[in-house]
Amino acid sequence: MNALLETRSRIEHALARKLSVLGSAVRQWEPFSREGAVVEGIGLMIEARGIELGIGEICSIGSDPPVAAEVVGFREGRSLLMPLGELRGIRPGLSVSCREKRPQAWVSEQFLGRVLDPMGHALDGGADPEGAVPVPLYGEPVNPLVRRRVDSVLDTRVRALNALLTMGQGQKVGLFAGAGVGKSTLLGMMAREADVDVSVVALIGERGREVREFLERDLGEEGLSRSVVVVSTGDQPSLLRVRGALFAMSVAEYFRKQNRNVLFVMDSLTRFAMALREIGLATGEPPTARGYTPSVFAQLPRFVERAGGLEGEGSITGLYTVLVEGADMTSDPLSDALAAILDGHILLSRDLAAEGIYPSVDLPHSRSRVMPVIADAHHRALAGTFLRYESLYRKSEDLIRVGAYVPGTDPELDQAVSLHPRMMEFLSQPAGEGISFAESLSALEEVLEGEDVRVASGEGEL
């Protein structure tokens, strides 16, 4: 009897869930489609007349086969659309129809372990995940008083970050790096090893060759099993690249709502901004610095701020890569703007990478703005001492290398030179080796054993 009651309860629960999903879908769907026609197409833009559409709505152009397009603007009674696929075959007079009321993403628990495109379809050869529910594609603005403070340490399992640039759950961090300095390796380490429940990886604007390399070499089967990977390569339309980033963030929000701690890894935020720039220029926006349109700088903070922890829910820790050359993050208007809206930045050094130090974190030019809050006084003192010696060595590195520095001139610099080999060994970590937060602090204490560690007071930034 009990078994029958349990079976009945499970069936009722499953039916209720299905009906809830269907109800949400019905509310988003119009019983009759609105229709218009293509009147003009220039570059990436298609203009349609005879149909009233809202920005963000998805339409179908033609029927053999239909081409999906998104509304990006309107002018003089015409709707401006950009296709999510190829423009070939689109001609004047083709029908434009729309049923969906507002843009949304369909997300499922079965996304875990899968590689998906920006529309939620499988790229890994398997069937499309089932049991999806609709969630807002663009997210909702978060009341700042509902947002949780970043007061818990995130164990990244990367020794240099744990000990010297401590990250917190719900923090938003930029990984500023050029090509060939170990960016993908570090992202893979964190997505695979970090102490979180789910990793959501958005590969936006990447070369097709790099996607499989990242999945098989950097993320691996173990990392993929707890991850959702969304891919939109650089050869796809700009609108699809933007949708890929938005869809991946919606997936992260879905898991956060289930009280899970999520690591959102995006490579790269720069290419997302470039896709936004393409859309803005196509719709007629004026270019500003480096050709970026005003809407780019308006949309980036809104997108980045979707990460974080919420009261009564889990958290999303955001790790966004930003493409830069050299150590000057202010030379590019985009990287300068992003450094200002993020909770910290990690700069990867080409010089350290050339020396074989991976991850090649440039400590003097990196900062975690939440570390003074989440790290205790002893930890902050250890990190401050390490950073002081590292900065001293870097400032005099050229003199030391050519033999122009005379030992005994500066006792503190002498100590920095003596500690340098141990410090570089501390920073270097094999890609397949995860090191816990406690182990990272113990290793830092060993490096600085016997040193004058100055315990800082208060919670000022390092």
Digits of tens for pLDDT over the chain (462 positions)?
A: 555 556 555 565 555 455 544 444 444 444 446 788 999 888 888 999 988 888 888 889 987 788 889 999 888 889 999 988 888 888 899 999 886 667 789 999 999 999 999 999 999 988 888 888 999 998 877 788 999 999 999 999 999 999 999 999 999 999 999 887 889 999 999 999 999 999 999 999 988 889 999 999 999 999 999 999 999 999 999 999 999 999 999 999 999 999 999 999 999 899 999 999 999 998 889 998 889 999 999 999 999 999 999 999 999 999 999 998 766 677 788 999 999 999 999 999 988 998 889 999 999 999 999 999 999 999 999 999 999 999 999 988 888 787 777 787 888 888 989 999 999 999 999 988 899 999 999 999 999 986 666 655 444 444
| CA 275 to each of CA 18, 63, 237, 271, 314: distance values in angstroms, whole numbers, following the listed order | 36, 27, 8, 6, 30
By the 10 Å C-beta count (0-12 exposed, 13-18 middle, 19+ buried), 103 is classed as: buried
Residues linked to residue 104 through DSSP beta bridges, in sequence order? 136
Q: Give the alpha-carbon dihedral of 227, 233, 234, 240, to 10 degrees.
A: -90
CB atoms closer than 10 angstroms to residue 198: 22
C-beta of residue 376 within 8 angstroms of C-beta of residue 180: no
CA distance 322 to 113: 26
78 torsion bin: left (phi>0), alpha (psi -120 to 50), beta (else): beta
Contact 354, 176 (CB under 8 A): no
Query: Which are the contacts of 226, defined by CB distance < 8 A and separation ≥ 6?
Result: 112, 113, 197, 198, 199
CB 346 within 8 A of CB 173: yes
**Where along the chain do the CATH 1.20.1270.330 domains lie?**
377-447
CATH fold group of domain 30-102? Elongation Factor Tu (Ef-tu); domain 3 (2.40.30)
Whole-prediction pTM: 0.87
CATH 3.40.50.12240 domain span(s) along the chain? 111-374
CATH class of 111-374: alpha beta
Nearest to 334 by CA among 319, 348, 321: 321
Alpha-carbon dihedral sign for residues 158, 164, 169, 173: negative
Measure the CA–CA gap between 186 and 361, rounded to whole angstroms. Answer: 10
Residue 329 · residue 181 · CB < 8 Å: no
Where in the chain do CATH 2.40.30.20 domains reside? Answer: 30-102
Q: Is 216 exposed, middle or buried (0-12, 13-18, 19+ CB in 10 A)?
A: exposed
- CA quadruple 222, 172, 159, 428: dihedral, nearest 10: 90
CA 199 to CA 201: how far, in whole Å?
6
Q: Which residue do the tokens 């398997």 mark? A: 126
We find that the CATH architecture of domain 377-447 is Up-down Bundle (1.20)
Handedness of CA 41, 272, 85, 252 (dihedral sign): negative
For 166, 186, 297, 361, 429, the CA distances from 180, given in Å and listed in that order, are: 24, 12, 27, 13, 17
